[in-house]
Amino acid sequence: MIRVGIAGIGFMGWIHYLAYQKVRGVKLVAVAEPNEKRLSGDWRDIQGNFGPPGEVVDLSSVACYSDYREMFADPNVDLVDICLPPMMHAEATIAAVNAGKHVFCEKPMALTTGDCRRMVAAAERNSRLLFIGHVLPFVPEYAHALKIVRSGKYGQLLGGSFKRVISDPLWLKDFYDPNGCGGPMLDLHIHDAHFIRLLFGQPTAVTSRGRMRGEVAEYFQTFFQFDDPNLVVSATSGVVNQQGRPFTHGFEIQLEKATLNYELGVYADGIEVMPLKVLPAKGGVMRPKLSGGDMPSSFVDEIKEVIKCVQAGTPSATLDGDLARDAVVLGHKQTESVRKGRTIKV
């Protein structure tokens, strides 16, 4: 049985809490949260852009700490789940692995590439496993696309285009703070940067154009260059100021013998989905039957991967710290490209 302590009870802490209830071989034994109301189990003020609103949670059998460092010292905790604000990820992760804990840290890994490197180095130095919570490869459409690509059934990858755009998150006061949430590049596009890294390897250069808001890129489009000149990969991401479409994401991935196509849009008057389709070279349309369900179920699959790896004592090929660090590197290189108006080497 893997014993888990959650550091930080906000929206992601709530989503992770729900996921742990559906995963075998794991038990929540501790939480750390400075907010006294939430530490008492009253999570009703928690809301997000998916999943159910928070509830009153029974924490009578769970050790409760107002300081996460005290939880890290708890010998009953094997794995620390860090759901703290991004600017705290590096400090908390390093403290946890120094205390002998494995770490599952929400994305973005950290706000700077230097902090990412320090996190990886600390985990290696302490012989602890480090997982970064990039859930996108576990979302059914993305998971199926990744499975198809890795199978080689339709030949080599030729490229892809990726989209992730939201309306301005007016409720997040530090969203555009490079030392807070990190802006759309690190809080939003980081999902696709990680997925692109997972599919194609690390790009050699980026060419981005977009609009800046202060020190962060607000809206941008990027072409990614690779050692293979035949790969054509692009991404569009950021924020628009109209509130009628809070969220959209999707992709079109090209292979030698098929194209994969998917898009979802959340609008003020409902959700519209263009389901995943496979367009084979011989013609026609295939509509795969997908496993999984809503977004919360994707976090269940993600946490199952973490627990499986902790039980086996092996790193995750999907949630690896090096991959997550590379995604942060890409984010900063794209911001530099927007700011300078030229291609930037990675």
The pLDDT assigned to 4 comes to 98
Q: Is 91 helix (H, G, I), strand (E, B) or coil?
A: helix
Instruction: Report the CATH number at residue 15.
Output: 3.40.50.720
Contact in structure between 290 and 148 (CB atoms under 8 Å): no
The pLDDT assigned to 152 comes to 96
Tokens representing residue 335 in the block: 């911001």
CA 222 – CA 183 distance, rounded (Å): 16
CA 233 – CA 67 distance, rounded (Å): 44
126 & 30 share domain: yes
118 & 256 share domain: no
165 & 186 share domain: yes
CA 142 – CA 290 distance, rounded (Å): 10
| pLDDT tens figures, 255-287 | 999 999 999 999 999 999 999 999 999 999 999
Tokens representing residue 230 in the block: 């035949």
219 & 111 share domain: no
Quote the number of domains for the chain.
2
DSSP one-letter code for 288? P
The pLDDT assigned to 291 comes to 76
46 & 170 share domain: no
Instruction: Report the CATH number at residue 226.
Output: 3.30.360.10
Q: Which residues of the chain have pLDDT under 70?
A: 49, 51, 292-293
CA 85 – CA 71 distance, rounded (Å): 17
Within 13 Å of residue 338, how many CA atoms lie on the same side as its CB? 23
The pLDDT assigned to 116 comes to 98
| pLDDT tens figures, 111-149 | 999 999 999 999 999 999 999 999 999 999 999 999 999
225 & 126 share domain: no
| CA–CA–CA angle 229, 236, 279 (5° rounding) | 65
| Full residue range of the structural domain in which residue 59 is found | 2-133+300-319
The pLDDT assigned to 200 comes to 97
162 & 128 share domain: no
38 & 93 share domain: yes
228 & 287 share domain: yes
CA 28 – CA 164 distance, rounded (Å): 33
286 & 307 share domain: no
81 & 148 share domain: no
Q: Is 204 helix (H, G, I), strand (E, B) or coil?
A: coil
Torsion angles phi and psi, residue 337, rounded to 5: -65, -40
127 & 240 share domain: no
**182 to each of 91, 111, 198, 324, 345, how far by Cα in Å?**
16, 6, 22, 15, 21
* H or E element, residue 73: none
Q: Which residue has the tokens 């949670």?
A: 57
CA 23 – CA 7 distance, rounded (Å): 19
Q: Which residue has the tokens 């930080």?
A: 8
